[in-house]
Amino acid sequence: MQLENHANNLQLSGRFDAHEADAFRTSFESIVSAHGGDVHLDLAAVDFIDSTALAEIVRAMKRCREGGHELVIVGVSDPVRVILELTRLDQALTIR
């Protein structure tokens, strides 16, 4: 998985699975610590996301909400959208 963060944007590409969960959490926490506010997560270039990674996104969503902010999914590839729909996480997450 490739992971880039700019200001409050976190952009992932490739496969987001359990092997990448720690790197994601580290990047996410550094954004939250440095910027505050909403965090934008771009999954447009992610081709697969497993259950551990989904749990990590839910954790990130809760973390944002605890601080009065939102985790906003700003880009979703077709396979990730289908996975979010099948797990019904599309109803819990903010997707734009």
Q: Where on the chain is the footprint of other proteins (CB under 8 A)? A: 15, 17-19, 47-52, 54, 78-79, 81-83, 85-87
Minimum separation from the CB atom of position 55 to other proteins (A): 10
Are residues 57 and 36 in contact, defined by beta-carbon separation less than 8 angstroms? Answer: no
Report the residue number, 68 or 86, with the smaller CB distance to other proteins.
86
CB of 4 vs other proteins, minimal distance in Å: 20
Taking the least distance from each CB to other proteins, the nearer of 20 and 60 is 20
